[in-house]
Structures are given as C-alpha cells and as structure tokens.
Amino acid sequence: MNIREAADKKALIIGAGIGGLCAGLALQNIGWHVAIFEKEPGLAESGAGIVLAANAMKVLEKLGAADKVRERGKAVGKAEIRRWDGAMLTELPVREQAERYGTPSYLIHRALLQELLYELVKSRGADLQFDRKLERWEQHGDKVTAAFADGSSHSGKVLIGADGLRSTVRERLFGTEPLRYSGFTALRGIADYRDERYPMVDGGGFEAWGPGKRFGFSHLGQGRVFWFAAVNAPAGIAAPPGERKRQALEAFRGWYEPIGDVIAATKEDVILAHDIYDRKPLTTWHQGLAALLGDAAHPMLPNLGQGGAQAMEDAWTLAQCLEQAGDGDVSDGLLAYERLRIPRTTRVIRQSRQMGRMVQLENPLLIAMRNGMLRTLPADVQLRRLHWLIGFEV
C-alpha cells in the first residue's frame, strides 16, 4: 500500500465505547487509519461487569486483545440458576461449552475492558479525541466530512456511528424514534467480597429468580464480585443516589445468601440504577458513507449478555466487508456489512426480549412451569440451544 492509499483509507468513528474501539482495531488490522471522537471528556464506560462469551473472545483474539482480557478478567467456571430461596434449578454446562468453542466465557469490568481496548488502538496510531460532540456531516463524492460543536471538522472515507443507545448518528440518519421500555429497572454494583460457597478460584456464580425479580452474582477478577438486580417496575422510578443500597436490600430481603451479604458489602456510591430499554430493529444501518455499529444500530436488552459481543461481531464484519470492497465503493462494503449483520442482531434483539419475559415472570403457575422445565433440561440440549448465539465464526 502506498502512502496516498494509506492516507485515503481513513475512518471517522463516533464514540469511544467498546464498539467504537473494537471497530478502530478491526479497521487498523486491514490497513486503515482511524480517528475516534468521543463527546465525553474521557473514557465513560460505567462501573459494571460485562460477560464475554466465546463469540466475543474469538473476535478479541483477532483484534489482539484476548490475552489482556484473560489476564485482567475472570474465566466463568460455574453458572447456576437457582430459585429465589436458593433451590437449584439448573447448572449451565460452561465447561462443555468451553471445550466445544475452545475458550471459556470471561467476566471483566466494563471500564477495564474499555481501557485495554483504548490503549491498544492508541498504540497502533489511532487519533483519539475527547470533548468532540458531533453536530453534522456532509458527503461529497467518496469523502465524508464531520463537523463538531467545538468548530473542528475532519474528513475520511467512512463515518461509523458507534455512539450508543441514544445515538446522534442514528437520529441524523433515520430520525427520532421512541425507546422501548423492558418492564424492569436494574441495580448494579461491584464489591470486594468473599464467600466459601463461590470460591474465587472457580469463577462464575449464579442467578436467582423470583416473582418479578432476579439477582445475578459473578466473580469479576481481581478479588471483586459484580452483581445485578432486575425488578419489574414502571419506567421512571429508578432508585435515586443514596437510596439504592437500601432499596436493593429491601427488595431481596430473605433471598438466598450471599445476596444480602454482597449488597451490604457494596459501597452506596458505586451502585448504579437504570431503567432498561432497547429499540425496534432497523431494516437498514447505512446511507452513503455513514453507518451504525453496536448499540447505535441494535440496542438490546441484557438478558442474553450479548450487547458487547454483538458490537464486537459488528466491528469484525464491518472491517471484512470494507476489505472485500477494496478500492471500490465504500457504500458497497457498508451494504454487505448490514446484510450480514441485520438478520443476526434482529434475532438477538427478539430473543433477548423473549428471555426477559420468561425470567421476569410474576404468575405463580407460569413460574412453576418454567422452573420445572429448567430442572429437566439436559446439558446437550442447552448447548444446542445456544449454538446459534455463541458459535459465531471469525
């Protein structure tokens, strides 16, 4: 590749979250220069955990980030589903899954993962700029120019909107549309915590399901536990700062220990509270030289643990499609990208909603039927049911 070709292949990526950083790494892998613009003054991932199943780990391996995740995160060695009082419903076949796909799932702090990706993409020469709020962009021939609120402007061959659930790029491309409320609000926290029933060396943890509520507990690595709670509630009444710990303890009073203990061990100021939303799937993700990626394209409920993984798959597929387009029209590469990704992510969005309805049930009869099914579900059936989701090939 000559100097002019290298200069011409520049991508403008809006958003320095996990999806945007992975897109930068994937494009660097095929010889593109990337400029990443983040509206916040610094890295902004929240203080929560993220699970990285085999499909995510395979992409991270290609991007050169998997070893760091293994060093800093925690392999999932146990994944139980229990009733609210601790009665076992099923134990997921995580070891068989790791053997089948060549890697266990990992759990890592989201902010740490973002930091690892940031350092890697920066070390490879990316131009990363903070406090850059996108105002608009214009396309002229084979060039796109983005203008920012501070008066700066930058040009490239493609603009990628990786700016999250409330994406500016998505709104500019396809107009304003409402968020879809999940029906539940979430509390999340991280604590320094030990429990002999869930040794740190084993990794993983459990979810406990009760009427209209569930609680998840997982080792995060570095001596910490990540927990989340999902509680059916109307939108707009998420617990305010200063009340979150008390509300979590009250909501899960009398539940399987160590639930109360780990909540009590969590500092009030690190507990997050959010209503959970997704959006209706789009039928196209691009116009001309601008395209969407990650939560900007397909925000999904967290019930399958696939939000970050699907953004990583997007990044890898986008780079492969642009490479295959070669010196042809970048828009052709973006069309190929969305044709490959939209059917899969639409299915994940829908399955995540269905899973949410199942795990947040309130009706006692339906709960009993669900729990009975889980108790009798063989491991090989569980593996087959998940293959479409985590058997992604890179």
The answer on pLDDT for 2 being more than 60 is: no
Rounded CA-CA distance 159/124 in Å is: 20
Is 24 within 8 Å of 360 (Cβ atoms)? no
pLDDT at 107: 95
Angstrom CA distances, 165 to 38, 175, 298, stand at: 14, 14, 8
4 pLDDT tier (thresholds 50, 70, 90)? very low
Secondary structure of the chain as H, E, C letters: CCHHHHHHCEEEEECCCHHHHHHHHHHHHCCCEEEEECCCCCCCCCCCEEEECHHHHHHHHHHCCHHHHHHHCEECCCEEEEECCCCEEEECCHHHHHHHHCCCCEEEEHHHHHHHHHHHHHHCCCEEECCCCEEEEEEECCEEEEEECCCCEEEECEEEECCCCCCHHHHHHHCCCCCEEEEEEEEEEEEECCCCCCCHHHCCEEEEEECCEEEEEEEEECCEEEEEEEEECCCCCCCCCCCHHHHHHHHCCCCCCCHHHHHHCCCHHHCEEEEEEECCCCCCCEECCEEECHHHCCCCCHHHCCHHHHHHHHHHHHHHHHHHHCCCCHHHHHHHHHHHHHHHHHHHHHHHHHHHHHHCCCCHHHHHHHHHHHHHCCHHHHHHHHHHHHCCCC
- 278 versus 201: which is more confidently predicted? 278
Rounded CA-CA distance 202/103 in Å is: 15
Rounded CA-CA distance 264/259 in Å is: 9
User: Each residue of 329-349: pLDDT tens digit?
Assistant: 899 999 999 999 999 999 999
The answer on pLDDT for 7 being more than 50 is: no
pLDDT at 1: 36
Mean of the pLDDT values across residues 271-275?
96
The pair of structure tokens assigned to 315 is 């990044």
pLDDT at 230: 98
Rounded CA-CA distance 56/66 in Å is: 9
User: Each residue of 79-119: pLDDT tens digit?
Assistant: 999 999 999 999 999 999 999 999 999 999 999 999 999 99
User: Each residue of 112-160: pLDDT tens digit?
Assistant: 999 999 999 999 999 999 999 999 999 999 999 999 999 999 999 999 9
Rounded CA-CA distance 341/302 in Å is: 19
The answer on pLDDT for 324 being more than 60 is: yes
pLDDT at 122: 98
The pair of structure tokens assigned to 58 is 């395979």
6 pLDDT tier (thresholds 50, 70, 90)? very low
Tell me the angle at which helices 307-325 and 18-29 cross, rounded to the nearest 10 degrees. Answer: 30
Closest CA to 137 of 151, 153, 126: 153
The answer on pLDDT for 73 being more than 50 is: yes
Closest CA to 228 of 187, 173, 267: 187
pLDDT at 201: 67
- 346 versus 201: which is more confidently predicted? 346
Mean of the pLDDT values across residues 66-91?
96
**How many percent of the chain have pLDDT more than 70?**
97
The pair of structure tokens assigned to 185 is 């609000």
The answer on pLDDT for 61 being more than 50 is: yes
Q: How high is the mean pLDDT of the chain?
A: 94
Rounded CA-CA distance 56/311 in Å is: 9
Cα 126 → chain centroid: 22
pLDDT at 3: 34
pLDDT at 197: 82
pLDDT at 221: 80
Closest CA to 289 of 393, 102, 140: 140
Rounded CA-CA distance 72/88 in Å is: 30
pLDDT at 199: 79
The pair of structure tokens assigned to 302 is 């967290």
Is 338 within 8 Å of 285 (Cβ atoms)? yes
The answer for residues whose C-beta is within 8 angstroms of residue 143's C-beta and 6 or more apart is 155, 156, 157, 289
Q: What is the pTM of this model?
A: 0.96
The answer on pLDDT for 171 being more than 70 is: yes
**How many percent of the chain have pLDDT more than 90?**
91
Closest CA to 374 of 88, 53, 78: 88
Mean of the pLDDT values across residues 271-284?
97
pLDDT at 198: 85
